[in-house]
Amino acid sequence: MTAAPARSLALPSAFLAAALSFPAAAQVGQKLATDRPNVTILATGGTIAGAQPKPGEVGYKAGSFSVESLIRAVPGMEKIAAVTGEQIANIGSQDMNDAVWLKLARRANELQKDPNVNGIVVTHGTDTMEETAYFLDLVVKGDKPVVLVGSMRPATAISADGPMNLYNATSVAASLAAWGRGVLVVMNDDIHYAREVTKSNTTSLQTFVSPDRGRAGAVLFGKPTFYAKPIERHTSGSTFAVPLPDKLPAVLVVYSHANAGRELVDAAVAAGAQGIVLAGVGDGNATAAIIDGLAAAARKGVVVVRSSRVGSGTVARNVELDDDKLGFVAGRDLEPGKARVLLQQALTKTRDVVQIQKYFDEY
């Protein structure tokens, strides 16, 4: 995957003046004397690096600016960390893919082992940020902070939210209190755990929420405060992906609704899916036609996980459906996109549904 050519950030003059007034030591890409934490920013694109054709106009292209431009656009960053940037990709996150995930995970694991690096920030689009965050939560081996950050407004917008989000994310990545908490997401002054966070609104600055267990903390003008630690296994405590595979198993999501037939289930099986996640109605339910299709898939060895489109709450085993008889896995409180991420990792280890249910009970 080669990053799209990025152009330098044509920021509003006030921002540009601030960015250019940085002391020389804050030049991006140089390792600074470590009188403060060293933070590496891995950039993948998204709106945080997005540009409108003309400031103030609707519409923009995600992934238009380089990581260097993003860093230069955040006045005062040098006070909280010595920052270096690397461009992993430069895409809208609706196009996020396994190749970028594996490249990102490999680089994050190298940085976990680098004694000169204290924390990692990943700039990313918000559309699939929660999925990438959870994937990294399962496969990054180390306790150093890994913090994903994006923005809901492009870098050229009036009151762009990216610079403050990036400043706050860098302060969290530089914080000793963030160590050992797993992968985090920082957006709009909130800190979220990768497993819990989800995008809840198509346009709001306050779109990221953690509906079942609440936020991991808050960060105000670069000062993080943390709440309760996560319960489930993650990062150093994860059994997955050492070493990382070259290819991730094919797992597809099937969405249920009134009057839904089994055709998409049958199509997923025909396409070679090793796993299928049901984005079910209510408590992970679906029409009889879909359940029949999923049961047939399970009999062919496809691993089926029941999740829910509802957005919060848990899908438990054997409530309205007999998972024991059908051979299904209950996805608990993982939303469908994250259930897919965990099922992918589980399938790198086994196809045994009893063991996979244990993974869903632990991660």
Catalytic residue among 40, 44, 47, 170: 47
In the complex, minimum distance from the CB of residue 174 to ligand DGL, in angstroms, rounded to a whole number: 23
Rounded-to-integer distance, Cα 301 and Cα 310, Å: 27
Q: What is the DSSP letter of 15?
A: H
Residue 196 near ligand DGL by CB under 6 A: no
90, HSE (Cβ side, Cα atoms, 13 Å): 21
Query: In terms of Cα–Cα distance, which of 200, 189, 1, 224 is closest to 95?
Result: 1
Residue 90 near ligand DGL by CB under 6 A: no
In the complex, minimum distance from the CB of residue 292 to ligand DGL, in angstroms, rounded to a whole number: 36
Cα–Cα distances (Å) from 155 to 51, 165, 174, 203, in that order, read 6, 11, 23, 15
Rounded-to-integer distance, Cα 105 and Cα 241, Å: 10
Residue 150 near ligand DGL by CB under 6 A: yes
Residue 127 near ligand DGL by CB under 6 A: yes
> And the tokens for 349?
């280890």
In the complex, minimum distance from the CB of residue 59 to ligand DGL, in angstroms, rounded to a whole number: 11
Q: Which stretch binds ligand DGL (CB under 6 A): 119-127, 213-221, 315-323, 341-349?
A: 119-127
Rounded-to-integer distance, Cα 357 and Cα 57, Å: 49
Query: In the bound complex, which residue of the shown chain has the CB atom lying closest to ligand DGL?
Result: 125
- Residues 6+ positions from 80 with CB-CB distance below 8 Å: 36, 37, 167, 170, 171, 174, 222
Residues numbered 29 to 48 that lie near ligand DGL (CB under 6 A) are 46-47
- 128 catalytically annotated: no
Residue 94 near ligand DGL by CB under 6 A: yes
Rounded-to-integer distance, Cα 113 and Cα 142, Å: 8
Residue 92 near ligand DGL by CB under 6 A: yes
Cα–Cα distances (Å) from 211 to 208, 269, 297, in that order, read 9, 32, 32
Residue 165 near ligand DGL by CB under 6 A: no
In the complex, minimum distance from the CB of residue 126 to ligand DGL, in angstroms, rounded to a whole number: 4
**Residue among 41, 152, 155, 341 that touches ligand DGL (CB under 6 A):** 152
CA angle 325, 281, 302 (to 5 degrees): 45
Q: Which is nearer to ligand DGL, 47 or 69 (CB)?
A: 47
CA angle 257, 260, 265 (to 5 degrees): 110
In the complex, minimum distance from the CB of residue 216 to ligand DGL, in angstroms, rounded to a whole number: 20
Q: At 108, which amino acid appears?
A: A
Q: Which stretch binds ligand DGL (CB under 6 A): 105-113, 150-158, 168-176, 250-258?
A: 150-158
Q: Which is nearer to ligand DGL, 232 or 335 (CB)?
A: 335
Backbone angles phi, psi at 68, to 5 degrees: -60, -40
Q: Which residues pair with 83 in a beta bridge?
A: 39
Q: Tokens 């897919």: give the residue.
A: 340
Q: Tokens 């890409």: give the residue.
A: 29
In the complex, minimum distance from the CB of residue 297 to ligand DGL, in angstroms, rounded to a whole number: 31
Q: Which is nearer to ligand DGL, 125 or 275 (CB)?
A: 125
Write the binding mask 210 to 239 for ligand DGL: x where contact by CB under 6 A, - elsewhere: ------------------------------
Residues numbered 254 to 283 that lie near ligand DGL (CB under 6 A) are none
In the complex, minimum distance from the CB of residue 71 to ligand DGL, in angstroms, rounded to a whole number: 18
Catalytic residues, which ones? 47
Positions that interact with ligand DGL (CB under 6 A): 46-47, 62, 92-94, 125-127, 150-152
